Structure 1
Amino acid sequence: MPEGLPIDNEQVLNGTMVGYAQQLVVCTGKRDWTSRIENDGKDRGWGNLVRGLKKMMGRGGPYLDPFNNILVTNSSLRPSPSTKSQSTASALLFPAFKYIPSIPTSIAPSSSTTSSTTTTLKTFIRAFLLPKHHHATQTTLPQSKLTALTRTPELQSTHFPGTIDILHSPTILICGHGGRDMRCGLMAPALETEFQRVLRGVGFDSVGSETEGAVGGVDGPNHANVGLISHVGGHKYAGNVIVYIPPKMTVRSGSGSTLHPLAGKGIWYGRVEPKHVQGIVDETVLGGRVVTDHFRGGIDRNGGILRL
């Protein structure tokens, strides 16, 4: 590690994960970003998406909700070939386990269309990111305000028909944000290489977002997604790894298979070194067991935070 940037090997990891309702993993195709990701990609659709979300859901935005923290992270996963302009971007959404290949980055519709027929970033927020239910303290808000801040899931099929459910492929995200902190910047590439090697060795024929046999490059039999992501908190615990187990993944059981014990969940690990990768793949990805020594926290399919 760089001088003056040690790894914290003393603090208990359990409970150090940031609390969040959903994680949006923006596909950039880049392997590092500026310290503040909203300042990056100014001529790219993915950059416009991050800035638009910050404007709409951040401080002073119309969809700001302190009880609905959306963790927006950039990733090295490649965007869909259809997102070549500044007007669209691609992203994965967890723990919904969805891949949205074309997300509009424009906040307002063009003058030649109406808001009811045009898909905008507001449509995406309303379809996927707003909460299904509100916190008890928000019931005093006017009903019109609550309605405006509640998810409208029917917009998903009408405005985003290309959305893919990630049902079978585990996704492993490694904080590699060297532009923010060099501890993760140095550790992540070694972890990425080792995860790719180990996963191929245990039967995942394709690893990454580039591949044959994976629907949209993100889901398919014997496929796994591995990518670097931007800051998620806790660089002092590098390497930081998030393992998302898809809702229909199975594990071998006797002569057959059963539903994975961690199906639909995300598990956060810290202080991961390359020597730990084989164990994490064997125990968590294949066996459905949490490695307690590295456990920072987790999230279930409904957005509930997991603790030991």
Structure 2
Amino acid sequence: MSALRPFRLLSPRLVYVSRRTYASRTAIKIPAVAPSIPVIDHCPSPTCQCRPMPPDLDIDREKDLNGSMPNYAEQLVICSGKSDWQSRIEDEEGADGELVRSVKGLMGQGGKLSDPYHNVMITNSSFPPTSSSTQESATSAYLLPSFTYIPALPTAPTSVEAFLKAFALPSGLHQAHKILPIEQQNTLKRQPELQRSFVDARKVNEILILICGHGGRDSRCGVLGPLLRDEFEEKLQRQGVALLHDALLAPDTSDARTSVPAARVGLISHIGGHRWAGNVIIYIPPSFSSNILAGKGIWYGRVGPQHVEGIVAETVVKGQVIKELFRGAIGQGGETVRL
């Protein structure tokens, strides 16, 4: 039985601690502005056969997962076309590695666009780049929860800087930046007029299910990631959700009530919390207006094959959050959501 429970929105104060990560120092509670959202305590038991859970994965099943999601404003999901990566994705060869290094150089500590109050989380994914962008000097990427797809993203430093200024920087700065000179404040703010340079950029209208499968970082995710990917693809199709594999296919689901929903399922690199594998992020696009979770990214941990059917039915289809698996969520404004 589902119940309406209010989310608490937290405005995190972030401090930059290294070139690779941001950490939350304090969390300031503010009044909830989102409507109550349906929450169920436990994932329903599967009604059909699912893949067996691998034994002896040493998963932490004691900690309360609520609030364990890292704080971030945007997630940059790079289409590497690979299903695993080196432990540090900036050490990858090719366009995806170049893009990671450029973004970290610009937004990391001491970088020109560094902002400790606006964390952009960088992950590689198994999604293939758009075919026209397979040349060595370009790749494709998603920016979430902005729900934007850039099919042709050059990896030259000047192009990466233009991309970040156009799409990834904040529209408004944290009040702590008021002490900075106006010129520096303007450097850290988004310049939407630059988006005209990325003529093929589009809004994301499909559900994205991202599963940590970074075996090069931790064997638990390396084992569970591919298994969960296959399970999600099977259970989505059983619910009538079309699967997308070709990067060029982008259905318009602006009227989701009359359109067949579509989804992409992919493996991603490290997002934190390997001890709670499997880790899954479900981004439901704003165009799915019939789903109360539209426009949000829902983080789940300790996901096993036995949970997938329930997640698809309850979260993807019905828009209900499963409390026992819930790590947190993010809205389009970058607000962090807790139960």
Q: TM-score range by the shorter chain?
A: 0.7 to 0.9
In structure 2, the partner of 1:30 is 82
Distance in 2 (alpha carbons) for counterparts of 1:107 and 1:170? 30
Correspondences of 1:27-66 after superposition (within 5 Å): 27-40=79-92, 42=93, 44-66=94-116
Superposed CA deviations along residues 24-73 of structure 1, whole A, max 9, x for unmatched, are 10001100000000001x2x222211111111111221111101100100
CA gap of 1:141–1:29, structure 2 versus 1, over 3 A, is same
1:228 aligned partner? 267
Q: Is the partner of 2:133 in helix, strand or coil?
A: coil
Residue aligning to 2:321:
290
SS at match of 1:82: helix
* C-alpha distance in 2 between matches for 1:21 and 1:211: 25
1:210 aligned residue:
246
Q: Which runs of 4+ in 1 moved over 4 A?
A: none
Structure 1 residue 274: deviation in Å? 0.4
Is the aligned partner of 1:141 residue 2:155? no
By relative contact order (CA 8 Å, sep 6+), the higher-ranking structure is: 2
Number of matched residues? Answer: 281
SS in 2 for 1:10: coil
> What residue in structure 2 maps to residue 194 of structure 1?
231
2:153 corresponds to 1:103: yes
Give the Å deviation of 1:2: 8.2
Find out whether 1:68 has 2:68 as its counterpart. Answer: no
Deviations 1:197-249 (A, max 9, x none): 000111123x1432785349xx9843201000000000000000000011011
Q: Which amino acid aligns with 1:18?
A: P
Q: For 1:7, give the aligned amino acid.
A: I
- CA deviations 1:232-288 (Å, max 9, x no partner) are 0000000000000110114xxxxxxxx210010000000000010000001100000
Q: 1:194 to 1:144 in 2, by over 3 A?
A: same
AA in 1 matched with 2:165: R
Counterpart in 2 of 1:260? 291
**Using the alignment, how far apart are the partners of 1:2 and 1:59 within structure 2?**
40
Task: State how far apart, in whole Å, the 2-side matches of 1:10 and 1:76 are.
Answer: 31
C-alpha offsets along residues 142-179 of structure 1, whole Å, 9 cap, x if unaligned? Answer: 000000110011211x1011011113x11100000000
CA distance in 1, matches of 2:239, 2:288: 15
Is residue 130–residue 248 contact of structure 2 (8 Å, CA) maintained in 1?
Answer: no
Counterpart of 2:3 in structure 1 is none
- Residue matched to 1:9: 61
**1:279 alignment partner AA:** G
**Residues 88 and 211 from structure 1, CA distance in 2 versus in 1: closer, same or farther, beyond 3 angstroms?**
closer
What is the letter of the counterpart of residue 249 of structure 1?
F
1:86 aligns with 2:123: no
Q: TM-score, normalised by structure 2?
A: 0.80
Distance in 1 (alpha carbons) for counterparts of 2:241 and 2:250: 11
SS in 1 for 2:321: coil
Instruction: Determine whether 1:243 maps to 2:274.
Output: no
Q: Which of 159, 164, 176 is residue 125 of structure 1 equivalent to?
A: 164
Query: Is the contact made by 2:141 and 2:151 (CA closer than 8 Å) also made in structure 1?
Result: yes
Contact conserved, 1:243 with 1:268, CA < 8 A, in 2? yes
Percent sequence identity is 48
Taking only aligned residues, the RMSD between alpha carbons, in angstroms, comes to 1.8
What letter corresponds to residue 233 of structure 2 in structure 1? Q
1:264-279 equivalence runs, <5 A = 264-279=295-310
Mapped contact 1:74–1:230 kept (Cα < 8 A): yes
Counterpart of 1:165 (choices 199, 203, 212) is: 203
* Cα distance, 1:107 vs structure 2: 1.3
Mark the CA change 1:50 to 1:221 in structure 2 (over 3 Å): closer, same or farther: farther
Name structure 1 gaps, 5 residues minimum: 109-119, 251-258
Question: 1: CA distance between counterparts of 2:101 and 2:191?
Answer: 22
